[in-house]
Amino acid sequence: MIEIQSQLSERAIELLRLPDEPCLVLDVGCGSGLSGECLTEQGHYWIGVDISSHMLDVAVERETEGDLLLGDMGYGMPFRPGTFDGIISISALQWLCNADKSYHKPPKRLLKFFSTLYACVRRGARAVFQLYPENPEQVSEIFLDAPIIRNGANIVFGLILDLELITQQAMKAGWTGGLVVDYPNSTKAKKMFLCLFAGGQAQALPKGLGTETSNTRPTQVSFSDKRERMKAKHPKKSRDWILEKKERRRRQGR
């Protein structure tokens, strides 16, 4: 699971196309800080937001480099305008499509999230969300506004992930962009990334991995379930790695 999370994080960072200098990145749904470690290894600073205090405790125990914030992304992002150079999120966005409580309205929560997110990122920056839909032919689903499971006094509400709903609310908040699919013809290696742009000059949507187009057969694609991982400069826990980590913390005033 750690290996998969790292691969997804590296691909999301690649799609961000950050400049070749230290940047400040927001990691939405940061969990135990695995995605943040990939950002740290590439020389960037990051702030992580997660709804689970237990996952953030694990991140603290693992001594991750980023700053951590406990919060529900459905209530919006509490940051100053133009704070971040980019945003990533791994396997978190789909949870905003769930109505876990009776007063949760997924469309409103998504709009609040995307609106506040748009405000806290600099113009022209990108946000990349890796997500898992319920099925590959995901289109508009019927929202379940009534309780579907009753267990004593507890009422559980459900909502299938709706890509159309997500993109609609993102565009309403001012974002542009679209869906990038890696290895679209592979059941195992297929990955989906929502790549959004925050204003600025018009940007072309990145191409997914494992797709090749030609003049003669434009519909054909090839795919592989392997891709080369980015390697760190020094082996983890080595003397050089520790010295580099200490130097980063000195620069951060820690």
Number of structural domains in the chain: 1
DSSP letter at 73? Answer: G
Q: What is the pLDDT of residue 163?
A: 82
What letter represents residue 236's amino acid? K
Region 22-37 average pLDDT: 94
Q: What is the pLDDT of residue 48?
A: 96
88, 30 Cβ separation under 8 angstroms: no
Residue with token string 């980019």? 86
Q: Using pLDDT thresholds of 50, 70 and 90, give the confidence band for residue 104.
A: confident
**Gap between the Cα atoms of 159 and 100, Å rounded:** 9
Q: What is the pLDDT of residue 157?
A: 34
Q: What is the pLDDT of residue 1?
A: 80
Residue with the bigger pLDDT between 134 and 117: it is 117
Region 163-190 average pLDDT: 88
CATH number, domain of 31, equals 3.40.50.150
Judged by average pLDDT, the poorest of 30-39, 112-121, 174-183, 229-238 is 229-238
Query: Is the pLDDT at 64 greater than 70, yes or no?
Result: yes
Q: Using pLDDT thresholds of 50, 70 and 90, give the confidence band for residue 233.
A: low
Whole-model pTM over 0.85: no
H/E stretch holding 90 reads: strand 84-90
Which residue range is the domain that position 32 belongs to?
2-251
41 to 6, 13, 31, 64, 157: CA distances (angstroms):
11, 11, 17, 11, 40
DSSP string, 98-138: ---STT--HHHHHHHHHHHHHHTEEEEEEEEEEE--SSTT-
- Token pair recorded at residue 6: 């790292």
CB atoms within 10 A of CB 237: 8
